[in-house]
Structure 1
Amino acid sequence: MIEDEAEHQITCVEDYLNFLQQFDAYRNQGKLFYRAQLASFQTVIPSIAHGKYSKLYEVKRLEKSNLVSGTDRFYNIAYGQHQGVPTRFLDFTVDPLVALFFAVSPTVREDSVIFIFIKPSLRREDLHIDLLTKLAFWGSTDFSSFVKSFNEQLSEPLSEHNALTLATKPVFVDRHSIVDAGNLRMCAQSGTFAICSNVIEDGRIKEISGIESTESFLTIAIPFEYKAKLRRELSDRNYTPDKMFADDRSREFPRFEKAKGSLQSISEIVDSNINRKGLYSKYGAHIALNGLFTVGEITEYARRFAYSRAEEEFGCGLHVIG
């Protein structure tokens, strides 16, 4: 669960990259994974687990999306994940600027969070990954029957105890073991996945587990106030929507939702004072804005407030500097 305060906060790309340098040793070992999401989402769980989950529901969603017909189910699920199909896969990237791109992309006026996981990863063809992928397509809640079916493909069958250990433990996929040139988005986003596991009790396959309870992760807060600025800085580094969504070159950053209400309705004067010296008067005030605004919007609101107060207090216009 995300705490009330993230462990760190960034307001510019350069500071973000400088902060991440301390993790270079993990990055070089392929153990560093990034994920961005809105701060209001308090858990790191896959889309298939949003709402009421059941094993039958998971299989039906995969069938409805025609993801059971392919020969390689891992890539079928990966493709479906990037087309909006609810799956047990969680999107991650090994590129911190891609994570920042997705942190600042939502249109809602809300802070975002970047999760950084320091975890070992397995190659896509590993037995653990194969088991979790096939478990996604298993329509029954009977775990013993799943193990029996899974063992039919193995020269050395797993014991039910060992299968249980794998089925209840999430896994991160080694980015370099994913070979899917046809998935342009995943390639452009340096994407990989964490594959979530199930809770298994009394031999029955139950709900999907999230991964936020696993060890070795930290959070970075991305305040909404700085998202417009960060978008510009990312664009300067060529991290743009048309690059991130390589199969749709017409994309641009969407506009943020329009701020609701007039200046009077969204602002409140906390305190104010007027200092008069001879022919000159200096007006100062602390203003509280009700809502989240970009730095540019805050500056504009301050200018508008200053002009309006000049009219009210002094009956004249005002030249505002800053």
Structure 2
Amino acid sequence: MIHRSGMGMTTEGSQQRMSDPLGEVKCVEDLMGVLQSVGGPEPRWYRGHTDVSWQLTPSLARKREWIEHEVLLLKKFKQNAIPRLVTAPSSEWEWLFLAQHHGLPTRLLDWSENPLVGLYFACESDGGTDGRLWFLRPNDLNEKSSPGSPEVLLFGQDRFLDSYLPEAARSPSPTQPPVAAVATRSFGRIVAQSGTFTVCHRSFEPLENVHSGSSLDSYAIPLARKAFIREQLKALGITAMAVYPDLTHLAEYVKDEF
């Protein structure tokens, strides 16, 4: 059963903010119910936060010095990454995806086309607080941010996206709203997580504040239900070993079995 909270009103009687969760998801069955209720052909992407209060901001925006030195951060990463790679990225976007998935602060925000992967990240750790599962309508976001753009934006093919690259975004030009785009799945983690992205230009306003949050919905994941949901997801094959395809997480998964 889907547990709705307020549905339009806060405790003060004012209108519920669009960024407030629509209700609670307490089990995988609840999530399936939400997905059935929204239905329709419009694609949706998913992102899970273990803390319900976290905003939809890319990691780069979490520290002023990172924003100021974004280009240098990426150059240092490139300088030292080559000896550690079997195959080097072939484009600037591929470098950015690689850096993102190894923890370098970037202007990208990860999403997944798989709702169970989004739910996994919302429950990945207890964290002492409720989690949150975000739903994004990428086509709706792009229609508002870039009217007339292709229905599906692909990094490396739709060239106007290149204005969002770190060096280009620093040049004098009008600030663009964030957009949603897919990438060729050339890295294991993007494949494993059915990964997609939103990308910011020069403004790092939380995505839930962009276009008044009208391209987003979310549901709270109660702290008390996280462990149960993790067990459900494990039975469905959604585990750390599955979403992080590296030897470190494989070892952790095997260790936790005993």
Q: What is the TM-score normalised by the length of structure 2?
A: 0.74
SS of 1:87's equivalent?
coil
* Aligned-residue offset at 1:73: 1.0
Q: Deviations over 1:113-160 (max 9, x none)?
A: 111111214122212322212xx1359x5515xxxxxxxxxxxxxxxx
Match of 1:65 among 55, 77, 82: 77
Structure number having the greater strand percentage? 1
- 1:128 match: 160
- 1:97 match: 116
Where do 5+ consecutive residues of structure 1 fail to align? 145-163, 200-207, 256-322
- 2:144 match: none
Q: Within 5 A, what are the aligned runs for 1:79-228?
A: 79-120=98-139, 121-124=152-155, 125-133=157-165, 136-138=166-168, 141-143=170-172, 164=174, 167-174=175-182, 178-181=183-186, 183-199=187-203, 208-214=204-210, 215-228=214-227
Structure number having the greater helix percentage? 2
The higher-RCO structure (CA 8 Å, 6+ apart) is 2
Given the superposition, is the C-alpha separation of residues 86 and 12 from structure 1 closer, same or farther in structure 2, using an over 3 Å criterion? same
Could you tell me how far apart the structure 2 residues matched to 1:55 and 1:184 are?
Answer: 27
Given the superposition, is the C-alpha separation of residues 40 and 180 from structure 1 closer, same or farther in structure 2, using an over 3 Å criterion? closer
Match of 1:36 among 37, 48, 51: 48
- 2:251 match: 250
Give me the CA root mean square deviation: 2.8
Given the superposition, is the C-alpha separation of residues 253 and 44 from structure 1 closer, same or farther in structure 2, using an over 3 Å criterion? farther
Could you tell me how far apart the structure 1 residues matched to 2:58 and 2:246 are?
Answer: 24
- Aligned-pair identity in percent equals 26
* Aligned-residue offset at 1:110: 1.5
CA contact 2:49–2:132 (8 Å) conserved in 1 = yes
* Aligned-residue offset at 1:195: 0.6
Determine which structure has more spread, i.e. the larger CA radius of gyration: 1
Where do 5+ consecutive residues of structure 2 fail to align? 1-16, 82-87, 140-151
CA contact 2:162–2:168 (8 Å) conserved in 1 = no
CA contact 2:126–2:226 (8 Å) conserved in 1 = no
Given the superposition, is the C-alpha separation of residues 193 and 186 from structure 1 closer, same or farther in structure 2, using an over 3 Å criterion? same
Given the superposition, is the C-alpha separation of residues 245 and 46 from structure 1 closer, same or farther in structure 2, using an over 3 Å criterion? same
